[in-house]
């Protein structure tokens, strides 16, 4: 592993342990070249995945790109990083264990929508506006109506 500070190739692992959700191994490393310390995370990859875009083009699956798109929808929202990481790891696990090496982008988007709906409704709407290609304010209104009609009615305890 290359040192991020000086580029020295021969770094040493000083400590290894699984992350709390057991989806990665956290390694503390030391660079003999500059004396720097840094942390790496190694994830187990069950299979190589390809994403089939709406245009039919195939691209390699990129977990970091998935994480970035989720983080954009969650920008300035009060959601813990750990919950976001757990959601993304769960999506990746579902994709890897599904058995298909090629996954439609639409399927990934649907999994993200389900995950975000459980995390933060504002982030869900933000993601949906891009994913479903909202063109006008009515699209937002329709989604809000759909969301409010899907909720169970609150019990009126004031009686």
Is the C-alpha dihedral spanning 69, 118, 122, 134 positive or negative?
A: positive
What region, left, alpha or beta, does residue 108 occupy, with left being phi > 0 and alpha being psi -120 to 50 degrees?
Answer: alpha
CA 132, distance to chain mean position in Å, is 18
Closest by CA position to 31, among listed 49, 65, 6: 6
- State the Cα–Cα distance between residues 43 and 19, nearest whole angstrom: 10
**pLDDT score recorded for residue 154:** 46
Name the residue ranges covered by the structural domains of the chain: 11-43, 50-148
Element (DSSP H or E) covering residue 40: strand 37-43
| Model pLDDT for residues 27-56, shown as the tens digit of each residue | 999 999 999 999 998 876 656 889 999 899
What is the percent of the chain where pLDDT is above 90?
43
């Amino acid at each position: 592993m290359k040192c991020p500070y000086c580029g020295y190739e021969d770094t040493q692992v000083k400590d290894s342990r699984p992350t709390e959700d057991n989806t990665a191994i956290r390694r503390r490393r030391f660079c003999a070249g500059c004396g720097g310390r840094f942390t790496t995370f190694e994830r187990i990859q069950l299979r190589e995945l390809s994403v089939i875009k709406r245009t039919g083009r195939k691209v390699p699956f990129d977990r970091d790109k998935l994480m970035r798109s989720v983080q954009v929808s969650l920008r300035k929202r009060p959601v813990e990083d750990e919950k976001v990481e757990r959601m993304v790891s769960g999506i990746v696990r579902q994709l890897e264990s599904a058995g298909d090496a090629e996954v439609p982008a639409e399927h990934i988007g649907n999994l993200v929508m389900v995950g975000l709906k459980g995390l933060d409704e504002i982030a869900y709407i933000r993601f949906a506006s891009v994913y479903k290609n909202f063109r006008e304010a009515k699209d937002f209104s329709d989604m809000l109506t759909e969301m409010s009609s899907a909720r169970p009615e609150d019990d009126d305890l004031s009686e």
